[in-house]
Structure 1
Amino acid sequence: MKVKFAKKYGFCFGVKRAIRIAERNQHATTFGPLIHNSREIERLQKDFDVCLSSNLEEAQSFKNVIVRTHGITKDDLQALKEQHIHIVDATCPFVTKPQQIVEHMSKEGYRIIIFGDKNHPEVKGVASYGDDVTVIANIDELKHLTFKKKVALVSQTTKQPEEFGKIAAFLTARVDECRIFNTICSATFENQFAVDELSREVDIMIIVGGKNSSNTKQLFKIAQKYCTDSYLIEDENEIDNTWFIGKKLCGITAGASTPDWIISRVQAKIEQI
């Protein structure tokens, strides 16, 4: 089976930074999953004794706490500081940016609109920095809202730029003042554009990444638009040889939290088919 990779895929800047931070801070815990890839989290625990705390209470029992790439809420961060715990902040700078914007614009009296998944840890963290905050998953959810005269719009870093643009246009036509902050990560845009391009020319697409990863699920969704035989897998063990019957060219991409060692194993197995 021939394999062709997307022009952009895999670890983004923020994830690479977080992994380096975790490897330098052995015998610590992360507050929430450091990244959305269970296999890489298992490697960090095995090789560097970096364990996972799923909530504030667990994290408070450690002397050294690493804040995950997606960030945590303002209240949780303050609670850690008050206990004089050594905090190592691995929050991606692209996530810190909307946190700061929301805090500033909220103080200026703006209603905050966040385009994102309200249950995602990044969005929960960003929303915690504002007072009057509404999280929307799509443009249809805006149609039932009433607006203040001043609105500020930000986005979850992994959302699709096209949809963000539609939401921005909708708001600007309905409020006196709309401040728009494009907080979508550039790496996210590049990876999405690359999978859009590749999925148009291959017989089958394999997307490698955590199934709870927002950016990986977005890549899968885009691939399905042009290549109906698209599959989302976490590692090579989920590959089904029957997927490739009658296929000649397989496209591969990977989410921003997917390490190279997993991608290489997937490539090797597919090339043997």
Structure 2
Amino acid sequence: MEVKMAKNYGFCFGVKRAIQIAEKTKDSVTLGPLIHNPKEISRLEFKFGVKVEENPQAIINGQNVIIRTHGIPKTDLEYLKNKAIQITDATCPYVTKPQQIVESMSKEGYQIVIFGDKAHPEVKGVMSYSTTPPLVVSSLEELQEAKLKKKVALVSQTTKQAQKLLDIASYLITHCYEARIFNTICNATFDNQESARELSKEADVMVIVGGKTSSNTKQLLNIAQQNCPDSYLVEDENDLNPEWFLGKKLCGITAGASTPDWIIEKVKQKILAI
């Protein structure tokens, strides 16, 4: 069986930057997982002493804290600053941008519309920068049921699909007096999604490598399944099922933006050995 890698896959700029920061800032604490990949989080703790703390109030005075790539709510950041803790910000610049947009547009009186998953840490952080309660929608259908004001400003979770963002933007343009549209989807996310889409058109089976709680990895799985029903998500080589590959000629592999190369390579080698 032939194995083919997607043209674009794996670590994005923001994740690479965060990992480098964590490796240089030993024996520190991240407020929430630095990235959405449990294997890499375990490596950082074992090798560099970087631990995860979910509760900002549990942070000890003087402890070095790394802000996760997805960012944190504004109130949590202010709390940490008031405790005079040493803070290293590893928030991805692509995530910082919608935070800034939301803060600015809400101050100008625009109703904030966020296309994303309300429970996702990135979206929680972006929401916190709005001066008024924002409208968060995960689909066009949700938006169609919402009450819109005359002036709206739209941002997106960085890992959402571009076409779905366009559908939501088109609806706002035709239903509001003024709509400010900001494309805050990460370029690397877009490239990875397009590569997954193209590879899934020719593959008999697709394997997506990444954390099962990762939004961008789930998006890759969804895109691959549209063209290749036999598409599977694995966190590492131990999740592979040999039966997936019976009678298959071409296996395509892609990976989420939080997936390190060492995990991807192990998955690839195990598939080749099947």
Q: TM-score range by the shorter chain?
A: over 0.9
Which whole-Å deviations, capped at 9, do the CAs of 1:130-182 have from their partners, x for residues lacking one?
02311000011112222221100000000000010010010011111100000
State the shift of 1:26 in Å.
Answer: 0.2
Determine helix, strand or coil for the equivalent of 1:216.
Answer: helix
CA deviation string 1:228-261 (max 9, x = no partner): 1111000001111111110111000000000000
Q: Supply the distance in 2 between the matched residues of 1:264 and 1:145 (Cα, whole angstroms).
A: 45
Matching of residues 46-125 of structure 1 within 5 Å: 46-60=46-60, 63-125=63-125
Could you tell me how far apart the structure 2 residues matched to 1:60 and 1:221 are?
41
Distance 2:135 2:60 in 1: 30
Residue 32 of structure 1 aligns with which residue? 32
2:23 partner amino acid: E
- Cα displacement string for residues 166-200 of structure 1 (whole angstroms, at most 9, x for unaligned residues): 10010011111100000000000000000000001
SS at 1:173's partner residue?
helix
1:62 CA drift (Å):
5.9
The structural deviation recorded for 1:59 is 3.0
Give distance in 1, aligned partners of 2:83 and 2:126.
Answer: 23
Is the CA contact (8 Å cut-off) linking 1:29 and 1:62 kept in structure 2? no
Aligned CA-pair RMSD:
0.8
Question: Percent of aligned positions with the same letter in both sequences?
Answer: 62
Counterpart for residue 179 of structure 1: 180
List runs of 5+ in structure 2 lacking aligned partners.
none
Rounded Cα–Cα distance in structure 1 between residues aligned with 2:46 and 2:247: 40
Partner residue, 1:164: 165
Where does residue 249 of structure 2 map in the other structure?
248
Runs (4 or more) in structure 1 with deviation over 4 Å come to none
| Structure 1 residues not aligned, in runs of 5+ | none
The total of aligned residue pairs comes to 273
- SS of structure 2 residue aligned to 1:207: strand
Residue of structure 1 in register with 2:216 after alignment: 215
Q: Tell me the distance in 2 between the aligned counterparts of 1:62 and 1:84.
A: 7
Closer, same or farther in 2 for the Cα pair 1:18/1:109, shift >3 Å? same
SS of 2:175 mapped into structure 1: coil
Q: Which residue of 1 aligns with 2:238?
A: 237
- Distance apart, 1:60 and its partner CA: 4.4
Report if aligned partners of 2:12, 2:188 keep a CA contact under 8 Å in 1: yes
